[in-house]
Amino acid sequence: MSDPLVNAHLAYMRQALELARQSPPKPYNFRVGAVLVDVATDTVLSSGYTLELPGNTHAEQCCFMKLSEKHGVSEEDLFQLPEEKLPLQLALYTTMEPCSFRMSGNLPCVQRVLRLAASSPSSAARSVTVYSGVTEPDTFVSKNTGRLTLEAAGIQFVHVSGLEDEILAVATAGHEAKEGQADK
The residues assigned a catalytic role are 60
Torsion angles phi and psi, residue 159, rounded to 5: -85, 125
Question: Exposed, middle or buried: residue 109 (CB in 10 Å: 0-12, 13-18, 19+)?
Answer: buried
Question: Exposed, middle or buried: residue 29 (CB in 10 Å: 0-12, 13-18, 19+)?
Answer: buried
Q: Are 118 and 79 in contact (CB under 8 A)?
A: yes
d(CA 35, CA 27): 24
Residue 110 CB partners (closer than 8 Å, separation 6+) = 98, 99, 100, 145, 146, 149, 150
Q: Please, what's the largest Cα pairwise distance for the chain?
A: 57
Helix H or strand E segment including 4: helix 4-21
With vertex at residue 165, the alpha carbon angle to CA 161 and CA 170, rounded to the nearest 5 degrees, is 115
